[in-house]
Amino acid sequence: MALAEQFLLDALAYLECALGFVSYVLLRVVGSPYGRYASPHSAFPVPARAAWVLQELPSLALPLLACAGARAERLNRWPNCILLGMFLIHYAQRTLIFSLLIRGGKPTPLYSFVLAFVFCTYNGYLQSRYLSQYAVYSDDWVTDPRFLTGFVLWLVGLLINIHSDHVLRNLRKPGETGYKIPRGGLFEYISAANYFGEVVEWCGYALASWSIQGWAFALFTFCTLVTRAQQHHQWYLDKFEDYPKFRKAMIPFLF
């Protein structure tokens, strides 16, 4: 039974890689239909705050259930605990803090909400089950250069992501409407600093975990967010005549 589930987790990781490439192609063709890009006539829109809480919740709840499970055999090892903790910290912040700080926010189309919920359930199961039951690390893995470098990247990415969200939330003063050019932090160099932070974060997690499950998540994240970043970047260029032309979409000094 254990061997069958381990095979399933590997298969799900490779499938996530494939889905990342499919998502990249589809989003390049149709764009990301959410937020400012969502149709005002979308059927059954979900309020922004409720959508964020509910769609991210599986990626918080499933690791917590894994921690509470009596048979979480691998969680008696520090590397497994730290890696699962990294995953949990991100989704605790996204589910319980980020969502509550949303100011207004456009409703999320139902289909976008459902897709996000399904992905968070899929990936939440994949990461938490692998780390709690099957990932084998020696105790000194926490001193391995791959783990240490990955952990630093994860932490830097998390902080970039949180700071960039703070900048975006505070673009408008109370009572103001409309869009403004983000300024400060990495927004001085790229249009999607929040996405850049998240990509760095999960690449760090993947490096620290050194697993196909971790790298599949990082690849999927990159494939979906790079298309959104390019869409944002082009929108800013079209919307604002004074938008800084030297800014890139998501990767400083590259693209």
Evaluate whether residue 250 is within a structural domain: no
| Residue 59 in domain | yes
Range of the domain at 194: 14-36+44-239
Query: Is 3 among the domain residues?
Result: no
Q: What is the pLDDT of residue 68?
A: 82
Longest pairwise C-alpha distance within the chain: 61
pLDDT tens for 136-146 read 999 999 999 99
CA-CA distance, 195 to 165, in Å (whole number)? 10
> pLDDT (tens digit, 9 = 90+) per residue, 206-246?
999 999 999 999 999 999 999 999 999 999 999 999 999 99
* 253 within some domain: no
For residue 190, the cross-strand partners are 248
- At 180, phi and psi to the nearest 5? -135, 160
Predicted confidence (pLDDT) per residue in 73-119, tens digit: 788 899 999 999 999 999 999 999 999 898 877 888 898 999 999 99
In a domain, 209, yes or no: yes
> What is the rounded CA–CA span in Å between residue 75 and residue 59?
17
Residue type at position 152: V
What predicted TM-score, i.e. pTM, was given to this entire model? 0.94
Answer yes or no: is 222 within a domain: yes
Q: What is the predicted pLDDT for the residue at 72?
A: 75
Give a yes or no: residue 217 inside a domain: yes
**Number of domains forming the structure of the chain:** 1
Residue with the bigger pLDDT between 231 and 4: it is 231
Query: 52: helix, coil or strand?
Result: helix
Q: Tell whether 94 is covered by a domain.
A: yes
User: What distance in Å separates the CA atoms of residue 15 and residue 216, rounded to the nearest whole number?
Assistant: 8
- Rounded to whole angstroms, the Cα distance separating 113 from 34 reads 9
